[in-house]
Amino acid sequence: MRFGRFLVPSGLLALAALSTPALAQYPNKPVTIIVPFAAGGPTDVVARLVGQHMSRTLGQTFVIENIGGAGGSLGMTRVAQAAPDGYIIGVGNMGTQSAAPALYPNLKYDPAKSFAQVGIVNFTPQAVVSKKGLPPATLKEFILYARERGSALTYGHAGVGSISHVSGLVFNTKFGLKPNLIPYRGTGPVLQDMVAGQIDYTVDQSLNVIPQIKAGTIKVYAIAAPARLKSLPDVPTTKEAGEDFIFSAWNAMVAPQGTPPDIVAKLVDALNKALDDPAIQASYVELGSSAPMGADRGPAGLQKLVESEVARITPVIKAAGVTAE
Ligand code: MLT
């Protein structure tokens, strides 16, 4: 577990205290954002990025609490079961909010019903990456190499039901790869071990891997998106690399179901202000992410996405015959 604190300049706190009674009511003490994965991974990075901005907008300290385990479902269970007063919220992802129900028969939350949706935080394509020392130079060469070696290669993921687990399931099944699956509490630690040469490959969010790709500490074969990323102009898409594999991830902010509508509205407004900030938009471009726009914004956009993603991913997982319990 790791905690992070965003301190608000005292002038802003004073301003918040003097403003409208509604603002004085909420938030009048620190807000905890539960990140259901280890610190340093993609969910943690975006939660800190928008959380810091929301802290300035709402004039209150936002604290990050990392509760990893069970592919993120442990942390999201804590959010679902928290008091619905706006002081514990969470940032989940496509795994926790769409894949988990198909993988955990005893899951203690329903992504479509147990939360007051705040909004989509970002969309990010997956990238196929390996440790630096692997010999293949292209995606096609990598697939042949991995197929020949089977379980002699290790695949690191963020736990059963996480995005890296599900995207790996689809990728490995499609190309006939049978690696040794190694679960972690997030892809931040997966990447650390890959840089250290202890994990062979993964399919993870560009958000997480771009800094290491740019530093030359890991190898990238392709971005699983229809178009190249501005921040990685030399890296081919999977289609350009000759394969048909597209996989887009997303993160989402939620509060416990029953949180009063005026509190949810403040969180929605603060999240939207963060998404409109040019500095956050520039960070998103640098990390290969994009912000939700138009109808994708806010609670309705997130509710629609959760329902459509549960319907899309459940049959894929059922067909693969995987469960976590
Ligand atoms: C995932 O694979 O679900 C995420 O990359 C986990 C994380 O944010 O660490």
Structural domain count of the chain:
2
| Residues 74 and 167 grouped into a single domain | no
- Position 85 scores a pLDDT of 97
In a domain, 65, yes or no: yes
| Domain identity same for 217 and 73 | no
pLDDT of residue 183: 97
Q: Domain end: 203, 223, 243, which one?
A: 223
CA–CA separation, 223 and 3 (whole Å): 32
87 occurs within a structural domain:
yes
5 belongs to a structural domain: no
CB atoms within 10 A of CB 89: 27
- Residue-level pLDDT at 325: 60
Atom 6 of ligand 1: nearest residue by CA position: 186
The CA distance from 161 to 322, in Å, is 10
Condensed to tens digits (0 to 9), the pLDDT of residues 47-81 reads: 999 999 999 999 999 999 999 999 999 999 999 99
First to last CA, the chain: 24
SS3 category, 88: strand
pLDDT in tens, 72-122: 999 999 999 999 999 999 999 999 999 999 999 999 999 999 999 999 999
Torsion of CA 306, 308, 309, 315, to 10 degrees: 130
pTM, to two decimals: 0.91
Q: Is residue 232 part of a domain?
A: no
Predicted local distance difference test score (pLDDT) of residue 51: 98
Q: For residue 180, name the pLDDT band (cuts at 50, 70, 90).
A: very high
> What's the CATH code of the domain at 165?
3.40.190.10
Q: Domain check: are 67 and 107 in the same one?
A: yes
Q: 159: CA distance to ligand 1 center in Å?
A: 8
Residue 102 lies in a domain: yes
For residue 298 and ligand 1, the question of a CB distance below 6 A is answered with: no
CATH of the domain at 311: 3.40.190.150
What tens digit of pLDDT does each residue of 266-276 get? 999 999 999 99
pLDDT of res. 20? 45
> Is the minimum distance from the CB of 42 to ligand 1 under 6 angstroms?
yes
Are 290 and 200 members of one domain?
no
- For ligand 1, the distance from its centroid to the CA atom of residue 303, given in whole angstroms, is 21
pLDDT of residue 79: 98
Confidence of residue 319 (pLDDT cuts 50, 70, 90): confident
Atom of ligand 1 minimally distant from the CA of 96: 3
Q: Are residues 143 and 206 in the same domain?
A: yes
**Do residue 203 and residue 113 come from a single domain?**
no
Three-class secondary structure of residue 181 per DSSP = strand
118 in the same domain as 132: no
Query: Ligand 1 center to residue 75 CA distance, Å?
Result: 12
Say yes or no: CB of residue 202 within 6 Å of ligand 1. no
* Residues 114 and 173 both lie in one domain: no
| Ligand 1 nearest-atom number relative to CA 251 | 8
Per-residue pLDDT at 12 exceeds 80: no
52 lies in the same domain as 98? yes
75 CB near ligand 1 (under 6 Å): no
The pLDDT mean for the chain works out to 93
Helix (H/G/I), strand (E/B), else coil: 241: coil
Answer yes or no: is pLDDT of 8 > 90. no
The string of DSSP codes covering 270-298 is: HHHHHHH-HHHHHHHHHTT-B---GGGSH
- Same domain as 111, residue 129: no
- How much distance in Å is there from the Cα of 92 to the middle of ligand 1? 9
Instruction: Give the span between the Cα atoms of 24 and 226, in whole angstroms.
Output: 46
% of the chain beyond a pLDDT of 90: 89
Whole domain around residue 174: which residue ranges?
Answer: 125-223
Residue 9 has pLDDT above 90, yes or no: no
Cβ atoms of 18 and 55 within 8 Å: the answer is no
Residues 166 and 30 in one domain: no
Residue 55 sits in the same domain as residue 36: yes
pLDDT of residue 324: 72
Using 50, 70 and 90 to split pLDDT, how confident is the model at 17? very low
- The 8-class DSSP code of residue 27 comes to T
Instruction: Report whether residue 86 contacts ligand 1, using a CB cutoff of 6 Å.
Output: no
Q: What pLDDT does 104 receive?
A: 94
Last-in-domain residue among 223, 241, 268:
223
Q: Residue 41 Cα, ligand 1 centroid: separation in angstroms?
A: 6
Q: How many CB atoms lie within 10 A of CB 102?
A: 21
CA of 188 to the centre of ligand 1 (A): 8
Pairing of strands 201-205, 62-66: unpaired
- Domain presence at residue 165: yes
What tens digit of pLDDT does each residue of 220-260 get? 999 999 999 999 999 999 999 999 999 999 999 999 999 99
Decide: 111 and 161 in contact? Cβ < 8 Å. no
Establish if 240 belongs to a structural domain: no
**pLDDT class of 5 with cuts at 50, 70, 90:** low
Q: Compute the distance between CA of residue 112 and CA of residue 148 in angstroms, rounded to an integer.
A: 41
| pLDDT at position 39 over 80 | yes
Inform me whether the pLDDT recorded for 1 exceeds 60.
Answer: no
Question: Is residue 26 included in any domain, yes or no?
Answer: yes
Q: Among residues 206, 223, 240, which one ends one of the domains?
A: 223
> Kind and range of the H or E element at 314?
helix 298-320
Mutate to test the pocket of ligand 1, among 94, 121, 208 (most ligand atoms within 8 A of CB): 208
